[in-house]
Structure 1
């Protein structure tokens, strides 16, 4: 077990204690952020030369799982923010020094949706836009934002998708923009940028990261970590967080069954129907975790052999990820349905997990139908939709 994982397990009760306060605050509490920061989880995928652990993705995602079981929002933020180090490690070394040179514990936010518009100017671009869903953003000092390069008439140019990186002074967090029913503690607020200059060394074309091939071109080829494919890495964080929420709901259901008595005076721990519900949920969730981590471990071994990741490999992983998430939320729905009226109370851990996992299913990474369609098209040798990221 990785040392960071051990530190997380040692502070599990502290993580759990901050789940409800984070919901109330609308972002991770400072205490929750401090636990993540001091544990080193956000530095697990960071290069060793910049104070990171350069850990295996297997260790990283297993650590995320055990954060998310205790706090959905903490697990979500740790995954989304933590995976950014994986990308920044493949960017210009000047940018890496700007971000981590003075403080290796600097956090980086996103989102990647290409909602910004970038106009070429000498030495870089003028950049503007507004983005929703910047998870953990209040605790971050840099951000990666998706955008499109446009021509003089404002029209996107072919192949113009880029990732733009900015320091905190160059963007605004819209503080009242995160009022939601689930994952409230993630603080996934809107970001606004108005006509900021972005120098060329803070811009990345993400396409070469898709099959893991960028690492060799930027001097990171000696590390198998940076030979992993970008989108399956990012989406694995979302899937892991979703599975962890389901495990948190399961733990809450088991705890409530120990003392709950039905209206007919039957202890739910002795009720055959309740036990059947429990058995189905445990089996489905365990199956999902086996599939999730088996895919991560297989990709890791492939990266260690310095093999590229063709579309069929990436689609297989994405097909599994969206199905794992669906099974997880279905299991939680059944648990919640059979948990009794007390599960509706605002202080119920089960209802918080139920809200959180349904919120998680609204993330684009858990949108299953486009992935199933792309997998089917690829199976029969048809062209894939350009809109599907995998």
Structure 2
């Protein structure tokens, strides 16, 4: 068979290469992207519209995200959280790295930022503990095939148990925000702190008294830059001439419009509305606090019921295991009786047969096969599975006792 010759294509031949026009997308930096228009536009642009609400939200950097979408999503997440009454746990401001570990630090923050606790999005923190050490998983590559936790030396198992006991009894390493928002009363602030934290530090009572003592009006602007006090439909008083900073006079007119709108009647109406909302908010907070307390009690009752159910299930399993243990013991006795029959048949010696039965009072039940001639071999063969199941039972009892001891120790450390 002749070997096929490789085709030869010369460097200067038309077959080696030819000119061809290629069409595709090129970004503003000159990079060619072929048919990938999106990638070309993404690399060439600096900003893009919000993909969720392009007509509402402002544009954002192509290498960033829509801050309005993030804010709305964060707000929705916070509002969906379970609300619970704060009972002294560490707190954090939602979606931030600001933490408070006592009421004093929270009060100081409120005073510094002129905010009330109820105006903050506070989240209850949960403790972070070191993870427990799984010695069996740690040693899985060296444990013999078919082995388990008990294949490890007792000293190693004891050391691992001591380490995990220390971990369970340790203090938290750190704290993280949970899925529960905190209901914190403004009463944690002193009267002085509360006054400093009122909205924009406005003295609402002083503002109300000033509005009540002022001329009722109505007040109107004259379309120029004057604010007039009107009585009986007639402008009888020139309140002020507003002078702004611009030379066109437009700022003066806008200032006059604002001053006329912020007349005593309007201020009193706003204060009345604000106080009504404050009362309503206080009622809602009181209701939420009551619901939170009721929910906490219900959760406590549910937890107690679940523990009781778990305890009953554990007791039921324990009793079932004990019944199985009894069945295995009876089964071993039956095997011994059958072995006694085999011994008697094979040797004719009843005393040797009785030696297999020991002191049992149970009857032999089903007779062994006539083909069985070796009592010891029969007993070993039949007893092997029973012995395996018995060992599994003993292991289960041992693990249960260790778990109960650990739970009691944990409860004692917590003062339960």
Query: Which interval holds the TM-score relative to the shorter structure?
Result: under 0.3
* TM-score, reference length from structure 2: 0.20
* TM-score, reference length from structure 1: 0.21
Larger radius of gyration, structure 1 or 2? 2
